[in-house]
């Protein structure tokens, strides 16, 4: 009995064989779902079976984004994953990374291929994406005439802004030839001239949404000169149209919200702008008025009227001073004059006459103060206080007088 | 503003211009003459914004089905 191995050793050995196998590490397994259990931990445990056999499968919570639908009993699915050994139970199982509904498997591959090639071609480049106009007046819609999507768009649009014109191009959104009508619709609305185009439809299976994964639709959106909002299915459905559109809306309702501006908000904005404008202008005017007031006050104080008043005051002061001075001078002079008059009065010859002195002049009217100025017999005039005496010279008597 | 310019102006640019005008008006340094000019421009823009919205409720237009776009 050589080479005895423990169970664990054997399990590990087998596990390594699985791990080394290239095929088993990345394998698509097709089968019908049974015993499907969504565990509270987020893991999904299920069995895949076909006519002859079955295989235990698990999808861990971490891989859950690889499953885009609710997996149910009896569904035919394709699971991508790796097959490995669960050592505790000595069982192998499929660790699924991605699960798709069978039948859509082919479409899915096509989708991936087209997505890749269009991406490489640059159809998804953000540089090509146009901004959605904030104030569209006309919004074109490419969708089914009788779909819930159209109703949702109309409802949202009317609620937000009934003044925006909606123009529907009724397109076939699923089935044979759907893509062609969608393309026609995009082109027609682009040509007609609208501000924004919404392209979309309500939710459905991958087959239902397929038209929006077709290359011709992608190219039509890319070439469309009008900004395009894609709105296909639900939040979780992502189509090629969503990648190439200028804006992806998660749902048709959301697309309407993005395309149609809210008139109430617009009015409120306008009102605010108006108020701000008026407020700023009033503020400015009040400011300027205050400035004017201050300046005018300054101006008043520096006005020539003030200067004139000031000068006039000075002038009056000076006049007063001048007249005072001149009066003083006049008084002094008058006083002096009085003194002179008094002095003069003292010197008056009339006063001497009153004391008995008289003025004697000869016939030549010369003062007769020496003997030689008169001859005997000459008439002399003697002036006294109240008149003149005419006298004749009788004799000239010489006398020595000591003066 | 010339009529030509007005017609080509979108609401977006009008709003931008209004914001710009308000920003300038908020500047204390601006002269009264300039502010009057800005204010009248602003009021004009507001009027333009209001007038450029056609406030008539619109019915959905459905384009003819199965017709070529040429006929639109």
Q: State pLDDT tens for residues B9-66.
A: 788 888 889 889 988 888 878 888 888 888 899 988 888 888 888 888 888 899 875 5
Dist. CA A399–CA B60, nearest whole Å: 165
% chain A with pLDDT above 70: 99
> Which pLDDT value is given to residue A272?
93
- Kindly report the pTM of this predicted structure: 0.57
Determine whether the interchain pair B58/A170 forms a contact, defined as Cβ–Cβ distance below 8 Å. Answer: no
Domains of chain A: 7-101 (2.40.50.140), 114-261 (3.40.50.10550), 352-393 (no CATH)
Q: What is the pLDDT, as a whole number, of residue B7?
A: 55
Show which of residues 26-65 on chain B sit within 8 Å of chain A, judged by CB atoms: 26, 28, 30, 32, 35-36, 39, 42-43, 46, 49-50, 53-58, 60-63, 65
| A95 neighbors A52 (Cβ within 8 angstroms) | no
A28, A79 in Cβ contact below 8 A? yes
Distance (Å) from the C-alpha of residue A258 to the closest C-alpha of chain B? 15
User: Which residues are CB-neighbours of A210 under 8 A, at least 6 positions away?
Assistant: A107, A174, A178, A179
Minimal Cβ distance to B58: which of A133, A134, A166: A166
Residue B26 tokens read as: 């908020």
First and final CA of chain A: distance in angstroms? Answer: 202
Give the H/E segment covering residue B34: helix B32-52
Among A154, A269, A280, beta carbon nearest to B26: A280
Identify whether the C-beta of residue A172 lies closer than 8 Å to the C-beta of residue A178: yes
Q: Which residues contact A81 (CB under 8 A, 6 or more apart)?
A: A26, A27, A29, A57, A59, A94, A95, A96, A97, A98
Q: How far apart are CA B17 and CA A272, in angstroms?
A: 15
CB A38 within 8 A of CB A61: no
A vs B: CB pairs below 8 A: 86
The Cα A289–Cα A226 span in angstroms is 51
Tens of pLDDT, residues A317-363: 999 999 999 999 999 999 999 988 888 877 777 777 777 888 889 88
Contact A162 B39 (CB under 8 A): no
| Beta bridge mates, A59 | A44
- Asked if A162's CB is within 8 angstroms of B22's CB, the reply is no
Domain definitions of chain B by residue range? 35-71
Question: Mean pLDDT, to the nearest integer, of A168-187?
Answer: 94
Distance from CA of B8 to the nearest CA of A (A): 14
Q: For A196-202, what is the mean pLDDT?
A: 95
Q: What is the C-alpha to C-alpha distance for residues A317 and A303, in angstroms, rounded to an integer?
A: 22
Q: Write the pLDDT tens digit of every residue in A88-135.
A: 888 999 999 999 887 655 677 788 889 999 999 999 999 999 999 999
Beta bridge partners of A170: A143
Which residue intervals of A38-175 are DSSP H helices?
104-121, 148-160
Q: What is the pLDDT of residue A235?
A: 80
pLDDT at B71: 40
pLDDT tens track for A283-316: 888 988 998 899 888 888 877 888 888 889 999 9
Residue A135 has its nearest CB partner, among B12, B30, B43, at B12
User: What percent of chain A is modeled with pLDDT above 90?
Assistant: 58
Chain A positions contacting chain B at CB under 8 Å are: 133-135, 137, 145, 154, 162-170, 184, 187-189, 191-192, 263, 266, 269-270, 273-274, 276-277, 280-281, 284-285, 287-288
Q: Is the pLDDT of residue B2 over 50?
A: no
Which strand ranges, in their side-by-side order, compose the sheet holding A196-201? A247-248, A228-232, A196-201, A138-143, A165-170, B61-62
* Smallest Cα distance from A135 to chain B, Å: 7
**Chain A residues lying within 8 Å of B57, measured CB to CB:** 162-163
Instruction: Give the residue from A399, A398, A364, A357 showing the smallest Cα distance to A381.
Output: A364
- The interface pTM score, or ipTM, of the predicted complex is 0.76
Q: pLDDT tens digits, residue range A363-403?
A: 888 888 888 888 889 999 988 888 889 999 998 888 887 76
Q: Which of A192, A274, A285 sits opposite B72 (nearest CB)?
A: A192
């Amino acid at each position: 009995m050589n080479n005895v191995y423990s169970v664990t050793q054997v399990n590990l050995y087998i596990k390594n064989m699985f791990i080394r196998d290239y095929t088993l590490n990345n394998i698509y397994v097709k089968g019908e779902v049974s015993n499907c259990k969504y565990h509270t931990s987020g893991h999904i445990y299920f069995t895949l079976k076909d006519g002859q056999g079955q295989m235990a499968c698990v999808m861990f919570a971490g891989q859950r984004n690889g499953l885009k639908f609710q997996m149910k009993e009896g569904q035919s699915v394709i699971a991508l994953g790796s097959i490995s050994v669960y050592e505790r139970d000595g069982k192998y199982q499929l660790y699924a990374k991605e699960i798709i509904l069978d039948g859509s498997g082919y479409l899915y591959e096509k989708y991936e291929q087209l997505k890749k090639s269009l991406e490489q071609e640059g159809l998804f480049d953000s540089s090509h994406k146009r901004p959605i106009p904030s104030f569209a007046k006309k919004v074109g819609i490419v969708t089914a005439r009788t779909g819930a999507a159209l109703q949702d768009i109309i409802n949202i649009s009317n609620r937000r802004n009934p003044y925006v014109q909606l123009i529907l191009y009724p397109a076939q959104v699923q089935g044979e030839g759907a893509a062609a009508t969608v393309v026609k619709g995009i082109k027609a609305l682009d040509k007609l001239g609208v501000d924004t185009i919404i392209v979309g439809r309500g939710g459905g299976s991958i087959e239902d949404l397929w038209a929006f994964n077709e290359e011709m639709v992608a190219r039509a959106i890319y070439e469309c000169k009008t900004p395009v909002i894609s709105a296909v299915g639900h939040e979780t459905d992502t189509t090629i149209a969503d990648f190439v559109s200028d804006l992806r809306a998660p749902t048709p309702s959301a697309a309407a919200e993005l395309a149609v501006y809210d008139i109430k908000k617009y009015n409120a904005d306008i009102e605010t702008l108006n108020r701000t404008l008026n407020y700023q202008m009033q503020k400015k005017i009040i400011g300027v008025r205050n400035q004017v007031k201050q300046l005018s006050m300054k101006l008043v104080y520096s006005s020539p009227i003030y200067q004139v008043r000031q000068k006039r005051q000075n002038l009056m002061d000076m006049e007063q001073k001048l007249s005072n001075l001149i009066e003083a001078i006049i008084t002094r002079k008058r006083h002096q004059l009085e003194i002179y008059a008094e002095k003069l009065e003292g010197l008056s010859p009339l006063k001497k006459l009153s004391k008995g002195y008289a003025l004697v002049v000869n016939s030549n009217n010369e003062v007769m103060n020496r003997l030689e100025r008169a001859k005997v017999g000459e008439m002399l005039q003697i002036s006294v206080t109240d008149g003149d005496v005419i006298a004749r010279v009788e004799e000239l008597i010489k006398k020595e007088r000591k003066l | 503003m010339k009529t030509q310019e007005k017609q080509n102006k979108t609401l977006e640019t009008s709003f931008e211009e209004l914001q710009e005008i308000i920003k300038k008006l908020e500047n204390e340094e601006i002269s009264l003459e300039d502010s009057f000019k800005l204010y009248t421009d602003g009021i004009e823009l507001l009027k333009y914004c209001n007038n450029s919205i056609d406030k008539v409720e619109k019915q959905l237009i459905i384009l003819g089905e199965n017709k070529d776009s040429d006929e639109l």
